[in-house]
């Protein structure tokens, strides 16, 4: 198919030319040559995930609406807190970020109502704008069940692939855990009729341009499963390959959970890297500070 003449990314050329002359040109998907949903392995529910549809759902979600009303009612309280003498009110967590959010929310309240870190995540996926403190392009998206974590992660994966012109991969950690156990002929699982090895399962994921590891809480407690996941994450760290992780809990909470593979890894370096991941929390951004006052 021919490229779109009005495409803002390739300007009708069919290829995207990078500003950095050392980076190669890449095919633009506006003419149908780029990655599609099948290339990502996305479940049917998330095949059309996008930031636009996610934020529309977020505004209408009942659980979010209650907190949104709280934020709007207490915004003056946050303004007064920032204006007060720090010696009297004490240190505020991430004060500069809070000041920026309050300033933006006064112009458009939606800036303070979006999920904490969600706008930064979108800017990274769509424009490549983000400075990673931990030296690895890894995002940890956490929140309670049905809070939109997976939808947001898939929207990011699709946007990143569109920007880069390369497909990524969606991985269910629950399914991968079972497949790894099956590879060891675990009698509790299904028979490994195709003689798939752990290497067959992990190696293709190591070099994916980007991956979503969905429901990290469901990582099986089997030590072999944990070792395989540690190998995957360590390789992607060394190659600085984008990795998006969703979970109900934080990395620190998972490490402390009894029977968790994280607790059995005995890999302090990996756990520190995950603990330093850029965080998205499925709570309205300003509500995060209000809950800590």
Same domain flag for 64 and 184: no
Which pLDDT band holds residue 34 (cuts at 50, 70, 90)? very low
Is 205 contained in some domain?
Answer: yes
Q: What are phi and psi of 98, to 5 degrees?
A: -65, -45
- Do 161 and 209 meet the contact criterion of CB atoms below 8 Å apart? yes
**CATH number reported for the structural domain that contains residue 137 in this entry:** 3.40.50.300
Is 47 contained in some domain?
Answer: no
Same domain flag for 30 and 149: no
Same domain flag for 171 and 278: yes
The pLDDT, as a whole number, for residue 230 is: 92
Would you tell me the crossing angle of helices 62-83 and 95-107 to the nearest 10 degrees? 110
Is 29 contained in some domain?
Answer: yes
Same domain flag for 110 and 124: no
Adjacent-strand bridge partners of 284: 115
Considering 85, 115, 145, which residue would you say is the last residue of a domain? 115
Is 39 contained in some domain?
Answer: no
Is 244 contained in some domain?
Answer: yes
The pLDDT, as a whole number, for residue 2 is: 60
Same domain flag for 108 and 121: no
Considering 98, 115, 132, which residue would you say is the last residue of a domain? 115
The pLDDT, as a whole number, for residue 186 is: 53
Adjacent-strand bridge partners of 26: 16
Q: Is the pLDDT of residue 135 over 60?
A: yes
Give the residue numbers spanning the domain of 81: 53-115
Domain count, the chain: 3
Least confident of 7-16, 67-76, 146-155, 225-234: 7-16
Same domain flag for 98 and 143: no
Beta 211-214 vs 243-247: how paired, if at all? parallel
Same domain flag for 273 and 253: yes
Same domain flag for 130 and 92: no
Same domain flag for 108 and 214: no
Same domain flag for 23 and 65: no
Tokens representing residue 225 in the block: 């499963």
User: Using CA of residue 84, residue 87, residue 89, residue 94, what is the dihedral sign?
Assistant: positive
- Do 102 and 75 meet the contact criterion of CB atoms below 8 Å apart? yes
Same domain flag for 183 and 86: no
DSSP 170-235: EEEHHHHHHHHHHHTT-TTS---TT---HHHHHHHHHT-SSEEEE-GGG--S-HHHHHHHHHHHHH
């Amino acid at each position: 198919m021919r490229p779109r003449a009005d495409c803002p990314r390739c300007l009708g050329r069919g290829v995207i030319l990078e500003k950095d002359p050392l980076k190669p040109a890449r095919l633009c998907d506006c003419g149908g040559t780029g990655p599609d949903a099948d290339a990502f392995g996305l479940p049917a529910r998330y095949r059309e995930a996008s930031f636009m549809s996610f934020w529309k759902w977020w505004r209408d979600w009942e659980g979010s609406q209650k907190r949104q009303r709280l934020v709007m009612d207490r915004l003056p309280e946050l303004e007064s807190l920032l204006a007060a003498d720090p010696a009297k009110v004490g240190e505020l967590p991430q004060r500069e970020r809070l000041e920026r959010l309050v300033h933006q929310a006064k112009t458009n309240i939606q800036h303070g109502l979006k999920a904490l870190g969600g706008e930064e995540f979108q800017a990274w996926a769509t424009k490549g704008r983000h400075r990673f403190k931990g030296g690895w392009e890894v995002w940890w998206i956490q929140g309670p069940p049905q809070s939109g974590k997976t939808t947001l992660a898939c929207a990011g994966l699709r946007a990143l692939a569109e920007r880069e012109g390369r497909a990524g991969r969606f991985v269910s950690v629950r399914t991968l855990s079972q497949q790894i156990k099956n590879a060891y002929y675990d009698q509790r699982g299904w028979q490994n009729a195709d003689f798939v090895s752990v290497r067959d399962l992990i190696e293709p994921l190591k070099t994916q341009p980007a991956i979503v590891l969905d429901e990290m809480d469901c990582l099986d407690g089997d030590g072999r499963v944990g070792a395989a996941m540690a190998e995957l994450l360590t390789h992607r760290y060394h190659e600085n390959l984008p990795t998006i992780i969703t979970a109900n809990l934080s990395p620190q909470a998972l490490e402390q959970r009894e029977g968790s593979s994280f607790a059995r890894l005995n890999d302090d370096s990996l756990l520190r890297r995950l603990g330093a991941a850029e965080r998205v929390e499925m709570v309205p951004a300003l509500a995060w500070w209000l809950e800590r006052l």
